Structure 1
Amino acid sequence: MRLGRPPKRLIRPARTSYQVDARRGAEMPLNVILVNVWLDAERGGGTAERTRRLAVHLSRLGCRCTIVTMGPTPWGDEFGRAGVTVISVPFIGQRFPAPLVNPLALYRLFRDADIVHVMGFWFLLASFSSAIAYAAGTPLLLCPAGSLTQYGRSAAIKRVFTALAGRPMLRSAAAIIATTRQEEALLVSDFAIPADSILIAPNGIELPGEGRPGSMAIPDKRFVLFVGRLTAIKAPDLLLEAFARIAPEIVDVSLVIAGPDLGMRPQLERRTAELGLQARVHFAGFADEAQRTALLARASLLAVPSHSEVMSMVALEAGAMGVPVLLTDRCGFDEVEQIGGGRVVPVDVGAIAEGLRQMLSDDDALRQSGQALRGFVLEHYEWSRVAAALLRDFRRLAAQRHGPR
């Protein structure tokens, strides 16, 4: 469905679904709108995955869920089985896509909802949807999902966007959803958001399905795995330099770098050649869900060297499969080291190299770390738990809008 001209089904009297059915004496399901700029893993990354899982699990919990996005989604069949409606908004542009949406149609859609949940921060669809939700009087929940950090090639543009659109988005929200305590602290310190307006809702994990490598070649020997966009904030360059430092002494380990290229791959390939590591560093390209599972099933450990991250989704995936994790202290997931599931190190080549050296030197300790992380992740971060907790907050905010029943 597209939000060009208002579809006839959107032109109806306003009615909230958060009410008691007089005939059955039961709560009607919440009508939840989820907004995310992209709904595929290659462009949307972790935010697309979070929106996908949240919509499906809220639907299983009885909500009526609609996703507003731009472009196609590979998960259409899954959404159809779950009863989730996807509305695709036309757009122009790629790096800074502008939605071509009918404001009246979007207003009517949001007015009839109980909750509008906006995922992400830097895109025009997020700011436009936030303004429409505010005008419609529908509680807006904004989840920046780790995107508040102004880092990388677009830092100057992000500062302008924050001043013109970002701060108004934050002020208009009924609540802000932080993924970690670290992100909560950033919202309080840098954006002056009251702590009582912030909800904590971590990323969740689905039990891994069947892995299929497809055409992706997986090394026969041990390897360190990186999965993420090839961009400065994810820091695959730091991991490459760290791997080069340990390569001469740990000769039976390779490095696999998997993820879509956002302009950094040529630089990484040149540096790999300069280091003479072409035979031991493998560029796998974008890995879909089944391919990530296949890679994780064979990896010795997952490395997340990011300059900024909020509870890496792939770290949770690794944990669910019993794969230990090395990540930086900018990832908001220090529990990994606290429970013995891996190492947390500074964002520094030397520290990353030392973490790799220590973890790869003891296979028995690696396996024990993987099992400790698996138990912790499955106990605390399954999507059914995360969605149920969020639904309680949704109901509370919807009740505040509609008054006592």
Structure 2
Amino acid sequence: MRIVHVIASIDPKFGGPQAVAQRIAAAQSALGHDVHVVSYGSADAQRKLFEMGRGIPNFSDIKWHILPEPDLFEKLACPGGRKLLRTVAQSASFLHLHGVWDPILLYAANTAKAFQVPYCLCTSGMLDSWSMQQKSWKKQIAFLLGYRRMLNQAKFLHALNVDEVLLMQPLGLRAPAVIIPNGIFPKEFDALPDKGRFRRQIGLPEGRRYVLFLSRLHIKKGLDILARAFQLVSYSHPDVDLVVAGPPDGAEEEFAQLVKEFGLESRVHVVGPIYGETKISALVDAACFCLPSRQEGFSIAITEALACATPVVITDACHFPEVGASEAGFIVSTDPAAVALGLIAMLDNPVMGKSMGVNGRRLVMENFTWPAIAELTIQNYRFAT
């Protein structure tokens, strides 16, 4: 099949959807398909993309069609994007769109319809109740301007979990939802680095443990919740620090203010975005991983933490019930006290944490791998056509 993935930006700073698009594309290429990606990206974003891609199996087999970072006119009207889409999509077997609210996706759907090419759309949690409440008036206008039609005319909506399907139901969309989860490439996690590498890199003394947060510094990721939770943890666990890794995305100032207010400046290490081997080393060294999100589709960061045999403390809004069912970590509410209790329980029992880590690695390796997920996408493309 000739498969075309479309996403508004390939910049890694935007998190999960970018990682998903490139990994599904690579896994589909490994199955022998002709896979293309259409997107925008600055020279720096492209450099980061291809640096990170060196560690992804079959990444080099993807055909990339990347336009420069768009100005406002290009972002809204997409003249360059539409021209590129007409060239790439006209002989495609299937289009896979990633995201919801970007104009380039609306034009991609229209292009697919013009060429009678079927398409699906990965909603990435953007249509659940929490997400729809954010700037809701803009989204209602967007629905009137063609985005509802784009969703309704998709062959299927690529949902990441059962909760996402249920949370989309109030919108009354006509396209069926198909659950296709995220995953990992086992090859990326076969040989984990020795413990201590990341600790030395950030200058953390031997004997100090840390809780790791790894995600965009966005309000929905719950950094304010984590700051309040870690304040409680800090009283009973003076040997534990907090490491916050990820690109800035609007929540960093409030987080820094809370850290200062709580007197935790020496205990909290904000290290910026980390990728590749550095990211895996950070996960391996962590006493536990924590993502206290207000909303998630299917977190790549959680999945990678589990693959590194690192136990996790996550919220029920992460929609990852398999973590609890497989005893790979704790699932708590978004209340800071509940997050703190989960972290304290994990930190108080390292033996239990190690066992949970083993369970989590098994869970991911047996159920959430990109080669199997790619097969699932192909099956659904064929079924839809």
- TM-score between both structures, scaled by the size of structure 1: 0.84
Pairing of 1:326-345 with structure 2 (within 5 A):
326-345=313-332
How far the C-alpha of 1:392 sits from its partner, in A, is 1.3
| 1:126-184 deviation line (CA, Å, top 9, x unaligned) | 12211211222110111111122436864443343244343122112011110100111
Q: Is the 8 A contact 2:245 2:270 kept in 1?
A: yes
Letter of the structure 1 residue corresponding to residue 142 of structure 2: F
Equivalent pair of 1:258/1:286 in contact (CA under 8 Å): yes
Number of the residue aligned with 1:288: 275
1:110 paired with 2:95, answer no
1:181 aligns with 2:169: no
Residue in structure 2 matched with residue 38 of structure 1 by the alignment: 9
| Contact 1:40–1:49, Cα closer than 8 Å, also in 2 | no
Question: 1:368/1:67 Cα in 2 relative to 1: closer, same or farther (>3 Å)?
Answer: same
Distance 2:247 2:80 in 1: 28
**Equivalents in 2 of 1:300, 1:188: separation in Å?**
38
- Per the alignment, residue 69 of structure 1 pairs with 39
Query: Is residue 89–residue 100 contact of structure 1 (8 Å, CA) maintained in 2?
Result: no
Percent identity among equivalent residues? 27
Tell me how far 1:38 sits from its aligned partner.
Answer: 1.6
The one-letter amino acid paired with 2:162 is R
Letter in 1 for 2:124: A
- The structure-2 alpha-carbon separation of the partners of 1:332 and 1:36, relative to structure 1 and needing over 3 Å to count, comes to same
8 A Cα contact 1:152 1:233, kept in partner? no
Superposition deviation, residue 95 in structure 1: 12
CA distance in 2, matches of 1:129, 1:215: 46
Kept in 1, the 8 Å contact 2:215–2:247? The answer is yes
2:157 and 2:301 mapped to 1: Cα distance?
23
**Aligned counterpart in structure 1 of residue 60 of structure 2, from 82, 89, 94:** 82
Give the deviation of 1:253 after TM superposition.
0.7
Q: Which has the higher mean CA deviation after the structures are superposed, 273-282 or 87-96?
A: 87-96
3-state DSSP of counterpart to 1:121? coil
CA 1:268–1:68: 2 relative to 1, 3 Å: same
Q: Tell me, yes or no, if the aligned pair for 1:60 and 1:82 is still in contact at 8 Å.
A: no
- Structure-2 change in CA distance of 1:49 and 1:81 (3 Å): closer
Q: Which moved more, 1:115-124 or 1:67-76?
A: 67-76
Q: RMSD of aligned C-alpha atoms? A: 2.4
TM-score, length-scaled by structure 2: 0.88
Given candidates 202, 210, 227, the residue that maps to 1:217 is 202
Aligned in 2, Cα 1:222/1:184: closer, same or farther, shift over 3 Å? same
CA distance in 1, matches of 2:35, 2:199: 33
CA distance in 1, matches of 2:140, 2:203: 41
Aligned to 1:226: 213
Number of residue pairs matched? Answer: 366
Where does 1:232-247 land on structure 2 (aligned, <5 Å)?
232-247=219-234
Residues 7 and 21 in structure 2, CA contact (< 8 A), matched pair in contact too: yes
Partner of 1:201: 180
User: Does the residue aligned with 2:4 lie in a helix, a strand or coil?
Assistant: strand
Q: Which amino acid in the other structure matches residue 346 of structure 2?
A: M
Q: Unaligned 5+ residue runs, structure 2?
A: none
**Structure-1 separation of matches of 2:230 and 2:59:** 44
What is the letter of the counterpart of residue 375 of structure 1? R
Pick which of 215-224 and 363-372 moved more: 215-224
1:15 maps to what in 2? none
Deviation by residue 1:277-333 (Cα, 9 ceiling, x = unmatched)? 111111111112222112101101111111100121011101111001111111110
Residues 96 and 144 of structure 1: is their aligned pair in 2 closer, same or farther, counting only changes over 3 Å?
farther
Residue matched to 1:320? 307
User: Is residue 53 of structure 1 aligned with residue 34 of structure 2?
Assistant: no
Separation in structure 2 between the aligned mates of residue 316 and residue 59 of structure 1, nearest angstrom = 22
- 2: CA distance, partners of 1:216 / 1:161: 46
CA distance in structure 2 between the partners assigned to 1:323 and 1:96 by the alignment: 42
Instruction: Name the structure 2 match of 1:126.
Output: 105
Amino acid across the alignment from 1:378? M
CA distance, structure 2, for counterparts of residue 105 and residue 92 of structure 1: 14
Q: Do structure 1's residue 379 and structure 2's residue 350 form an aligned pair?
A: no
| Partners of 1:336 and 1:151 in 2: CA distance | 26
Conserved? CA contact 1:319–1:373, under 8 Å: yes
Counterpart of 1:311 in structure 2 is: 298
In 1, Cα distance between equivalents of 2:367 and 2:148: 32
Is the contact made by 1:216 and 1:291 (CA closer than 8 Å) also made in structure 2?
Answer: no
Shift of 1:264: 1.9
Equivalent position amino acid for 2:365 in 1:
L
Residues 58-77 of structure 1: per-residue CA shift (max 9 Å, x gap): 01101101100001433446
Corresponding residue SS for 1:251: coil
Q: Select the structure of larger CA radius of gyration.
A: 1
2: CA distance, partners of 1:218 / 1:306 = 28
2:363 is aligned with what amino acid? F
Counterpart position of 2:261: 274
Note closer, same or farther for the CA distance 1:139–1:218 as it changes in structure 2 (3 Å cut). farther
Letter in 1 for 2:328: G
* Residues 246 and 274, structure 2, Cα contact 8 Å, conserved in 1: yes
Contact persistence 2:82–2:108 (CA under 8 A): no
Q: Provide the rounded CA distance (Å) in 1 between the counterparts of 2:171 and 2:134.
A: 21
Change (3 A) 1:289 1:160: farther
